[in-house]
Amino acid sequence: MSAEDIPPETKLVHVSLYSYGHVNGPITSQDGDASQNTLSYNIRHLPNPPRHLRSKTNGLSRRLQKEFLQHDIVEKYLERVLTELVEALIVEYDRQGSLDENPEVLLTVTVCCEEGRHRSVAFIEELAQRLKCFKNGDGQSRQWQLHANITHRDIQVRSNDDSEGPLSDMANLKAAKKGSRQKKRGGNGRNFISPDEEFDGF
């Protein structure tokens, strides 16, 4: 749906979701869309999925996601982040007011684990799924069309160790950062989309 097709009372909402590794440095404007409204979270305190899964796959794996998301502490943190995300959208929605006929609401959410291949990826994927409940508004008086973009910046950066520890191959890191700056769909960063990611508004 283009801006011309949006009813006057409906705003366009763009949410950029980033996962990354703490050891690889923070998300910067070179990694993706710059936004004045950014929520940043460090989930290194959350439990790691089993080592044997981390050595074979990444956070896009349904099995790894299930192992990670089964923890109560992860569920509570997801609920907190989703609540804060929606609250931030509401604040920006109200701030926009009637400045424009169809003002756009922009929000960036960044989530880091140690390497950016397992926990943060699984967390962002689940967060995107839960955002679908708010694709048409906040469930009250606010109406919007929500579009979400997912970027897993460091998912292809590998270390010597199967656990999430310091990188030993700096060439890998430089290559990944170079790849993350490649443009796609008018923005920077590489998008890794889950098989069932696509739906109206996303």
Q: Is residue 3 a part of any domain in this protein?
A: no
Would you say residue 173 lies in a domain?
yes
Q: Which residue(s) pair with 111 in the sheet?
A: 19, 41
Q: pLDDT at position 69, please?
A: 98
Distance CA 191, CA 103 (A): 25
pLDDT (tens place) for every residue of the chain, 202 residues total: 455 555 556 789 999 999 999 999 999 876 655 456 899 999 999 999 999 999 999 999 999 999 999 999 999 999 999 999 999 999 998 887 755 555 788 999 999 999 999 999 999 999 999 999 999 999 888 999 999 999 999 999 876 454 444 333 444 444 444 444 433 333 334 333 333 333 334 5
pLDDT score, position 169: 42
Q: Is residue 2 a part of any domain in this protein? A: no
Tokens of 75: 């569920």
Q: What integer pLDDT is reported at residue 9 of this predicted model? A: 66
pLDDT of residue 112: 98
The DSSP code for 137 is B
Residue 117 in domain: yes
Q: Quick check: is 201 in a domain?
A: no
pLDDT at residue 4 in the model = 52
pLDDT reported for residue 141? 85
Residue 194 included in any domain: no
Tokens 């796609």: give the residue: 184
Q: State the pLDDT at residue 104.
A: 85
- Is the backbone of residue 189 left (phi > 0), alpha (psi -120 to 50) or beta? left
Give pLDDT, residue 100: 58
Distance CA 122, CA 173 (A): 21
In a domain, 60, yes or no: yes
* Residue 195 covered by a domain: no
- Overall domain count for the chain: 1
Segments forming the whole domain that contains residue 118: 8-188
